Amino acid sequence: MRALVAMGERSASQVRALEGCSAQLHGSVVHFALVQRPDIDFDPADPAHAQDVLLRVHAFSCNYREKGRLLQAARRPEGGYLVLGSEFAGTVVKVGSGVQDLQPGDRVFGDGAVDATSAHPGLSTQRGSQELQVLPRAKLMRFPATMPFADAAAFSVGAQTAYSMVRRLHPARGAQIAVTAATSNTSLFVIQALVARGHAVHALTTSAAAVPRLRAMGVKDCCVLARSEDADPVLQDYLAAHGMAKFDAVVDPFMDIYLRKLVRHLQRGGSYITCGVYQQFSEEEPDAFMEQGLPLAEVFSLIIRKNISLVGNNLGTTGDLAEALADHGAGRLPVPLDSVTGPGGLAGFVQRTWLVPGRQGKVVFSYAADERGGQP
Ligand SMILES: NC(=O)c1ccc[n+]([C@@H]2O[C@H](COP(=O)([O-])OP(=O)(O)OC[C@H]3O[C@@H](n4cnc5c(N)ncnc54)[C@H](OP(=O)(O)O)[C@@H]3O)[C@@H](O)[C@H]2O)c1
């Protein structure tokens, strides 16, 4: 079976790559390779695999978080490689004896549910690029044949996280909601979920070129921040221009960038929900835009004085993912797809996933000949 791996210089010379490329990432050279690994299998009669499923991955994608993990792997003095991929779409090959509701040929992607009752909370796998996977039934969700594999491989993490954040934010009718890093994969899902429910979304972005696309998605307006300039006067002008004193709520995938900038622009009793931080890997230079805003002591004090609800969010529930999939099926949640590539296009996949500015959604690698995913 094939898999996408990342490694440092030392291991790259020892690994036989079907296809390879290298990139400079945060001061380190990282080698990426499509490699052959031994196939995996299980005996469906084996009680240890009663609740397991063997599936063949047709398409996969990577996430922001993997950049930190692959940098660590590339910098490891002892070498070795890291198998990549935190989202996948595939078909069931065989099921364990206790799995009644899936059968060979069913189309599945990961269910990263973190429900308190789940025996396996979190991502289904962090090796989603491996063509064969043995995963617990509970970590999979079936998707319909109308959804191409490429879309399905770009769906589950963003959709589940976004629907969880919107459910937990539970905005009041008429609430004015700021969504930060509006062009991030996560926020593209959040914006669509909020707009589909009729909420007023204010898209905060550092990508001026993305404004027409964000407007077309139905946001009320866009507040463009320049990473080299002070954000606060821009936020003040934006609120004044839209007749608002403050935002009612904020949805933010990069808390270490935006909390310090937005707490003062959030209503008394407002809500701030966040699913991540920007600084997940070492930077050569401290990021000046990130450092902008109130000192943390003042942020903490304001959160208390203004009775702000600050909510951390990790992925979501199976119900969140099912609701997102239903919305997708009903045409209310198109998958934000930047590009689909396959064998022969590894360098482009790496570039668009982690390196180029102006990405317009998820980047998918498809093993299937028909990239948008018909039948492989
Ligand atoms: N906990 C969970 O369940 C969960 C799930 C999914 C994601 N996450 C987290 O959510 C965050 C976003 O992930 P993602 O995959 O959506 O990220 P992504 O698509 O890679 O985000 C890229 C966006 O970040 C913004 N950005 C990039 N560099 C920036 C800089 N120097 N200053 C300011 N903004 C910058 C840009 O948005 P603009 O151009 O619009 O400003 C850019 O389009 C990560 O922290 C990730 O770990 C968490």
Same domain? For 162 and 291 the reply is: yes
**Pairing verdict, β 221-224 and 176-179:** unpaired
CATH number for position 179? 3.40.50.720
Asked, for residue 319, whether it belongs to a domain, the answer is no
Q: Whose CA is nearest to atom 42 of ligand 1?
A: 184
Residues 26 and 114 grouped into a single domain = yes
Q: Cα of 231 to ligand 1 centre, how many Å?
A: 18
The pTM score is 0.95
With respect to residue 317, please indicate whether it lies within any of the assigned structural domains. no
Give 134's strand partners: 54
| CA 214 to each of CA 182, 231, 241, 250: distance values in angstroms, whole numbers, following the listed order | 8, 20, 19, 17
List the residue whose alpha carbon is closest to atom 20 of ligand 1: 64
Q: Which helix (H) or strand (E) covers residue 107, if one does?
A: strand 107-110
Distance of CA 346 to the CA centre of its chain: 20
Residue tagged 């064998």 (tokens): 343
Domain membership flag for residue 204: yes
How many domains is the chain partitioned into structurally?
Answer: 2
Structure confidence by residue, pLDDT tens digits, 321-332: 999 999 999 999
Q: Find the mean pLDDT for residues 164-185.
A: 97
Q: Predicted confidence band at 117 (pLDDT cuts at 50, 70, 90)?
A: confident
The rounded Å distance from CA 182 to ligand 1 centre is 9
Rounded Cα distance between 302 and 91, Å, is 50
Looking at residue 283, its pLDDT comes to: 63
pLDDT over 60 (residue 375): no
Q: Which domain holds residue 268?
A: 158-312
C-alpha span between 6 and 10 (Å, rounded): 12
Nearest atom, ligand 1, residue 188 CA? 16
Kindly state the average pLDDT of the residues 236-261.
Answer: 98
Do 55 and 179 have their domain in common? no
Q: Are residues 257 and 188 in the same domain?
A: yes
Residues 117 and 328 sit within 8 Å (Cβ to Cβ): no
Grade residue 362 by pLDDT with cuts at 50, 70 and 90: very high
Which of 174-197 are b and which e, b meaning 16 or more Cβ less than 10 Å from the residue's Cβ?
A: ebbbbbbbbbbbbbbbbbbbbbee
- Does pLDDT of 98 surpass 50? yes
Q: Which residues of 301-323 are buried (b: 16+ CB within 10 A; e: fewer)?
A: eebeeeebebeebebbbbebbeb
Say if strands 87-95 and 52-61 run parallel, antiparallel, or are unpaired.
antiparallel
Residue 176 tokens read as 């004015």
The DSSP annotation for 134-156 comes to EEEGGGEEE--TTS-HHHHTTTH
- Coil vs helix vs strand at 246: coil
30, 6 Cβ separation under 8 angstroms: yes
Q: How far is the CA of 37 from the centre of ligand 1 (A)?
A: 31
Is there a domain that residue 372 lies in? no
- pLDDT, residue 369, reads 58
- CB of 338 closer than 8 Å to CB of 361: yes
Q: Ligand 1: distance of its center to the CA of 140 in Å?
A: 25
d(CA 11, CA 215): 46
Residue 330 falls within a domain, yes or no? no
* pLDDT confidence bin for 374, thresholds 50/70/90: very low
Pocket of ligand 1 (CB under 6 A): 63-65, 157, 161, 181-186, 205-207, 227, 253-254, 257, 275-277, 287, 289, 314-315
Residue 229 sits in the same domain as residue 291: yes
Residues 6+ apart with CB under 8 A from 39: 1, 132
Residue in 369, 319, 350 with CA at minimum distance from that of residue 163: 319
Residues 199 and 97 in one domain: no
> Does any domain span residue 371?
no
For residue 147, the domain's CATH number is 3.90.180.10
In a domain, 351, yes or no: yes
Tell whether 138 and 8 lie within a shared domain. yes
d(CA 20, CA 6): 10
Going from the Cα of 244 to the center of ligand 1, the distance in angstroms, rounded, reads 26
Cβ burial of 173 (10 Å; 0-12, 13-18, 19+) is exposed
Q: Which atom of ligand 1 approaches the CA of 313 most closely?
A: 1
For residues 71 and 8, what is the distance between their CA atoms, to the nearest angstrom? 9
Nearest to 104 by CA among 112, 96, 92, 113: 92
Strand-pair partners of 363: 339
Among the listed residues 115, 156, 112, the one whose alpha carbon sits nearest the alpha carbon of residue 135:
112
Flag whether 236 is in a domain: yes
pLDDT digits over 214-247, tens only?
A: 999 999 999 999 999 999 999 999 999 999 999 9
